[in-house]
């Protein structure tokens, strides 16, 4: 007996996806494929709400390898909202440049389904399928601008690194299976108690972490990010930096806190290094960027590091602190989704106006597009973590998580590294804002033209949603912290 209610979001998304592909064959305006895709995403959110409101606790399907609990629901919600905003950003972008629209939406939806599946996966095979389903459409989407050599480069790099990381991950998984004899997370957790010193197990866990390290673009597995983001169509870069990255974190969360719950001594220190390196290198390299999308690429690497921080000290955490760390990661992801999508949406809007991608081109934005300049300020300073914009709370829960549970020296050092990085990051975000508000308009930009360029209504909607989210959460963080908190049970073996 299959619990169709629990599977409803996935089923609706799958149906929409097929519908989009079919609709694309009919002689209708391509516009409608986007409408269908958006409607499908909204419809998929309905069973999520009903499942959440019923509060029947955890629903377990397929002999425990697919679980719908609060954690899964919150993250599915995140992926659907991310997909929705990314789609809104794509519509105008694709229409203007006459790209293949139907297929684009189809692939984006496929990627969203993959992420939604990952949130519920509780065994190695289904999580691996989820990862592939997220990534493979991404390879295609990254190369969507066929005529552009950069886009081809983006897709090829992403593809090669993506396949490599999958191979590494799969190799690790096979070792884990070989040692524990189990593919479901609960079985692995039960069989791995006391295996902390087993060399094969250490290798397996580290390889799996490295595989996901590529997906979340943690340093030193980050090399593909700037090139891929720069070359891909910007809405795709936005989706990769939020949706695909969050999917990677979901994989890490589920594996680390459930399957490898007994092996914290192995993955804790490894993630400590990934977190410290990602924050530091991401931020330092971002300082030197002149292209806005590359800058956002490095900034997203750095944010990946911040999100990893709560994981790093897990080995020394008690139950409460583990719960805090888990909910901090989820809360950070939720807030990051809004602010980073918003930042990318502003970049799309501004690039449309100025027809170039370097930060110097943003000079004087305020004089001809005060609204966009204000939005850019909101999103970039939120990414920097300044109150009263949502980003402060993300940074706050991150600090709180790492210092919780009887903080030792390593925790304090990591927190200090994160604090210094938060300041470094401010510099490059402020550089963009400075350009937009305080510099004179460059002569090459005819501000009359720029003034008249209209934004696609869907892009304005995306900007509006993200901005309201960032400001409202900044003042009342409880709105999202509630969802982060709801997932806490998972870390406690719930």
Partner 1 sequence: MEWFDNGWGLSLVVFLPLVGAFAVMAIPKTNELVAKQTGMFFAAASFVASVVAILRFDFGNTARFQLDTDLTWISSISSNFHIGVDGISLPLVVLSTFITLLAMIYSWDHWPEPHNPKMFIVLMLVLATGMAGTFVALDLILFFVFFELVLLPMYFMIGIWGDRTPMKLPGFKREVETRLYAAIKFFLFTLFGSAFMLLGFIALFFRSAPHTFDMLALSEMGRAGLFTGSFGFWVFGALFLGFAVKVPMWPLHTWLPDAHTAAPTVGSVLLAAIMLKLGSYGFIRISLPILPQEAREWAPAIAILAVIAIIYGSLACLAQTDMKRLIAFSSVGHMGFVMLGIATLTDVGINAAVIGMVAHGVITGLLFFLAGSMSHRYHTREMARLGGNQKLMPVMGGILAFTAMASLGLPGLAGFWGEFMALFGSFNPLDGLSLGLFRSAMVIGAIGTVLTAGYMLWMLQRVNLGEPKAEWAGREFHDVDRFEMAAWAPLVLAILAIGVFPKIVFAATDGAVEQLVRSAFGG
- Please tell me whether residue 327 binds partner 1 under the rule CB under 8 A: yes
Q: How many helices (H) and strands (E) does the chain have?
A: 21, 2
Using CB under 8 A as the binding rule, whether residue 430 contacts partner 1 is answered as yes
Nearer to partner 1 (CB atom), residue 116 or residue 386:
386
Task: Please tell me whether residue 403 binds partner 1 under the rule CB under 8 A.
Answer: yes
Neighbours of 53 (CB within 10 A): 8
Residues 450-479 that bind partner 1 (CB under 8 A): 476-478
> CB 323 → partner 1: shortest distance, Å?
11
Angle at 480 between CA 474 and CA 484, to 5 degrees: 135
96 or 420: whose CB is closer to partner 1?
420
- Residue 356 binds partner 1, judged by CB under 8 A: no
Contact 130, 114 (CB under 8 A): yes
Taking CB under 8 A as the rule, does residue 386 contact partner 1? Answer: yes
What contacts 465, CB < 8 A, 6 or more positions away? 85, 88
Bond prior to 220 in cis (omega within 30° of 0): yes
Out of 71, 272, 344, 437, the residue judged to bind partner 1 by CB under 8 A? 437
Residue 482 interacts with partner 1 (CB under 8 A): yes or no: yes
Q: 183, 307, 179, 178: which is closest to 241 by C-alpha? A: 307
Among 321, 493, 309, which Cα is nearest to 406's? 321
284 part of the interface to partner 1, by CB under 8 A:
no
Within 10 Å of residue 478's Cβ, how many Cβ atoms?
11
Residue 314 Cβ vs partner 1, minimum distance, rounded to whole Å: 16
Does position 428 interact with partner 1 (CB under 8 A)? The reply is no
Q: Does 492 bind partner 1 (CB under 8 A)?
A: no
Q: Which is nearer to partner 1, 244 or 421 (CB)?
A: 421
Q: Which of these, 2, 94, 3, 90, lies nearest to 41 by C-alpha position?
A: 90
Span interacting with partner 1, options 183-191, 238-246, 352-360, 430-438, rule CB under 8 A: 430-438
Q: How many CA atoms lie within 13 A of 87 on its CB side?
A: 30
Instruction: Kindly state whether residue 420 participates in binding partner 1, applying the rule CB under 8 A.
Output: yes
Reference 17, options 99, 104, 91, 119; nearest CA is 104
Beta-carbon count within 10 A of 416 CB: 10
DSSP 451-477: HHPPPPHHHHHHHHHHHHHHHHHHH-T
Q: Does 11 bind partner 1 (CB under 8 A)?
A: no
Taking the complex as a whole, how short is the minimal distance between the CB of residue 431 and partner 1, in angstroms?
8
Contact 165, 228 (CB under 8 A): no
Examine residue 422 and tell whether it contacts partner 1 (CB under 8 A): yes
The half-sphere exposure of 247 on its side-chain side, counting CA atoms within 13 A, is: 31
- Site stretch for partner 1 (CB under 8 A), options 44-52, 65-73, 275-283, 423-431: 423-431
Closer residue to partner 1 (CB): 209 or 415: 415
Residues from 99 through 158 that contact partner 1 (CB under 8 A):
none
Interface with partner 1 includes 368 (CB under 8 A)?
Answer: no
HSE-CB of 167 using CA atoms within 13 angstroms: 6
Count of chain residues binding partner 1 (CB under 8 A)? 37
Helix extents (H) in 26-100: 31-54, 70-97
Taking the complex as a whole, the smallest distance from the CB of residue 393 to partner 1 amounts, in Å, to: 8
Q: Give Cβ neighbours of residue 332 (< 8 Å, ≥ 6 apart).
A: 306, 307, 310, 394, 397, 398
- Among 19, 269, 357, 388, contact with partner 1 (rule: CB under 8 A): 388
Kindly tell me which residue out of 36, 286, 426, 441 binds partner 1, with binding defined by CB under 8 A.
426
Binding status of residue 358 toward partner 1 by CB under 8 A: no
Asked if 6 is part of the footprint of partner 1 (rule: CB under 8 A), the reply reads: no
The answer to whether 427 and 420 have CB atoms below 8 angstroms apart is: no
Please give the structure tokens belonging to residue 418.
């994160």
Print the binding letters for residues 151-190 with partner 1: x by CB under 8 A, - otherwise. ----------------------------------------
Structural tokens at position 192: 């791995």
Which range, of 5-13, 39-47, 343-351, 411-419, touches partner 1 by CB under 8 A?
411-419
User: Can you tell me which of 258, 397, 456, 491 binds partner 1, judged by CB under 8 A?
Assistant: 397
| Residues near partner 1 (CB under 8 A) | 327, 381, 386-388, 392-393, 396-397, 399-400, 403-407, 412, 415-416, 419-420, 422-423, 426-427, 430-431, 434, 437-438, 476-478, 481-482, 484-485
């Amino acid at each position: 007996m299959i619990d169709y209610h629990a599977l409803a979001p996935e089923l609706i998304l799958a149906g929409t996806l097929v519908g989009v592909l079919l609709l694309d064959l009919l002689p209708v305006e391509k516009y409608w494929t986007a409408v269908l895709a958006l409607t499908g995403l909204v419809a998929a959110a309905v069973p999520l709400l009903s499942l959440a409101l019923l509060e029947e606790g955890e629903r377990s399907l397929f002999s425990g390898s697919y679980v719908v609990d609060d954690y899964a629901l919150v993250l599915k919600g995140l992926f659907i909202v991310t997909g929705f905003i990314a789609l809104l950003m794509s519509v105008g972008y694709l229409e203007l440049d006459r790209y293949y629209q139907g297929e684009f939406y189809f692939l984006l939806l496929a990627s969203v389904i993959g992420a939604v599946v990952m949130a519920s996966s509780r065994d190695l095979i289904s999580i691996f399928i989820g990862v592939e389903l997220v990534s493979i459409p991404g390879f295609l989407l990254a190369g969507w601008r066929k005529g552009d050599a950069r886009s081809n480069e983006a897709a090829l790099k992403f593809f090669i690194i993506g396949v490599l990381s999958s191979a590494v991950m799969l190799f690790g998984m096979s070792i884990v299976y070989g040692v524990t004899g189990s593919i479901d997370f609960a079985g692995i957790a039960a069989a791995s108690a006391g295996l902390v010193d087993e060399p094969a197990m250490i290798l397996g866990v580290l390889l799996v972490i490295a595989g996901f390290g590529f997906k979340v673009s943690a340093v030193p597995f980050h090399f593909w990010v700037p090139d891929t983001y720069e070359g891909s169509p910007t809405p795709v870069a936005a989706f990769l930096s939020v949706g695909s990255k969050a999917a990677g974190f979901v994989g890490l969360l589920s594996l680390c806190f459930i399957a490898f719950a007994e092996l914290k001594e192995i993955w804790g220190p490894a993630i400590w290094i990934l977190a410290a390196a990602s924050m530091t290198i991401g931020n330092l390299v971002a300082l030197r960027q002149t292209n806005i999308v590359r800058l956002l690429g490095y900034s997203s690497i750095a944010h990946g590091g911040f999100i990893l921080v709560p994981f790093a000290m897990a080995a020394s955490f008690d139950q409460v602190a583990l719960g805090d760390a888990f909910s901090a990661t989820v809360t950070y992801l939720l807030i990051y989704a809004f602010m980073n999508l918003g930042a990318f949406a502003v970049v799309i809007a501004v690039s449309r106006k100025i027809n170039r991608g370097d930060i110097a081109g943003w000079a004087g934005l305020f004089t001809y597009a005060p609204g966009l300049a204000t939005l850019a300020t909101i999103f970039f300073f939120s990414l920097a973590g300044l109150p009263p914009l949502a980003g402060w709370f993300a940074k706050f829960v991150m600090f709180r998580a790492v210092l919780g549970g009887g903080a030792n020296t390593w925790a304090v050092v990591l927190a200090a590294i994160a604090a210094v990085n938060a300041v470094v990051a401010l510099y490059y975000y402020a550089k963009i804002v400075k350009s937009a508000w305080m510099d004179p308009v460059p002569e090459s930009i005819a501000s009359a033209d720029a003034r008249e360029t209209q934004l696609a209504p869907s892009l304005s909607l995306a900007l509006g949603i993200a901005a309201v989210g960032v400001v409202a959460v900044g003042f009342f963080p409880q709105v999202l912290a509630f969802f982060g908190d709801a997932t806490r049970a998972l870390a406690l073996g719930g």
